[in-house]
Structure 1
């Protein structure tokens, strides 16, 4: 599989190491120093693109992949106000798009556990739910995309909570997400249901970027040759 890496920071380099170890070929490494590689004639040389850049550039990068008829896997967070438009354009142009706030296989299993726990706790009104996420200081968005996914899963099932807020002190109807930036943490997400009697806590802790990178490569191989809009649930058959 020929891969165009859009974004060649720490995550891009981790993806490159895993992809090449699996026998895939990185044909383009695109960053701020090589914007010309985003032109159609270059992108068309790839079987699939993997996009990890910034909230400011992700939307345009994805559209360029659509124009080049190249399936795109996107892991950039912080731009999701434009996701409905991207999905509509993907279907309109008969392209392939896979977005995940986190490509780690462990995190995607954690998502399923989070949803089930939220369902079980919906009727247990003596518990209040809160969240915490910890990442390295270079993380550009807060809360993390993974934390937002977890929070939205809870809001869909915890009817006394109406919205999430990125602060510790909040109203009873708000779901608190506390964001901490501490080096060298790759990512920790904690969901706690607390009562006067006891607490129930689920935690996912990443030890390195390898889990995210490996999942992105698996997703890219899975997306190659497909058309439509997908998530990691489709990849992992969850």
Structure 2
């Protein structure tokens, strides 16, 4: 398939290599200063751009009949508007805070555990995420997705960075060296602790998941998630 890359930083370059290895073609590399964009050559767009560019990138693709896979964070105040435009233009869209196949299985495990723990009030849940020092936003989008998964399946009212009260999930964010990403969900009582953890060994898993999502979305119409891609119900 013919892939357009919106954003050509570290992740864009990694997606390019994986896509080429899987016999796909990169027909466009759109970055900050790109002016002329030919949508007619694109089968699908993969967006890992900047927050201030993502909404326009995504919606322009929809308007030109190009389905979009997006992993850009920091623009979700316009997410519902983007979904509405996708539906209006009869296009297709997958957004994920993390495209790693393992992380998306971890999301499901997290929600399942939250349901099991929801009536055990003696346990307080907390989270920790560790990323490389170049990651400026905190907590990570993945940690927020994990927190939302717990909130949806429990009596917690929200999450808070660092300290929290009993009605909120405390998320600790650490920035260390070149760490690709580690996320831990911990349930602690006075007598024991239960912990689930996902550790990325490198960033290739994120790029591979985005390419697999792009392969999956071809020929489809609608708003989807990685649950659909992985057939997780």
Decide: shared fold, TM above 0.5: yes
Give the TM-score of the pair, scaled to structure 1: 0.95
Structure 1 segments (4+ residues) deviating >6 Å: none
Task: Determine the structure 2 residue equivalent to 1:223.
Answer: 217
Question: Per-residue displacement from partner, 1:81-119 (whole Å, max 9, x unpaired)?
Answer: 211111111111111111111111100110111001000
Output the CA distance in 2 between the equivalents of 1:115 and 1:88.
Answer: 27
Q: Show structure 1 runs of 5+ residues with no match.
A: none
Task: Determine the structure 1 residue equivalent to 2:5.
Answer: 5
- TM-superposed deviation, 1:142: 1.5
RMSD in angstroms over aligned alpha carbons? 1.0
Task: Determine the structure 1 residue equivalent to 2:158.
Answer: 163
Please say if 1:195 is aligned against 2:189.
Answer: yes
- TM-superposed deviation, 1:141: 2.1
Give the TM-score of the pair, scaled to structure 2: 0.97
Give the total of aligned pairs: 232
Is this contact kept in 2: 1:7–1:52, CA < 8 A? Answer: yes
Q: Show structure 2 runs of 5+ residues with no match.
A: none
Output the CA distance in 1 between the equivalents of 2:40 and 2:180.
Answer: 33
Task: Determine the structure 2 residue equivalent to 1:24.
Answer: 24
Output the CA distance in 2 between the equivalents of 1:73 and 1:211.
Answer: 15
Please say if 1:77 is aligned against 2:73.
Answer: yes
Question: Per-residue displacement from partner, 1:155-199 (whole Å, max 9, x unpaired)?
Answer: 01121x101112x22121111111111120111111000111111
Partner SS, residue 52 of structure 2: coil
Partner SS, residue 36 of structure 2: helix
Output the CA distance in 1 between the equivalents of 2:77 and 2:191.
Answer: 39
1:1-238 alignment runs, 5 A limit: 1-37=1-37, 42-159=38-155, 161-166=156-161, 168-238=162-232
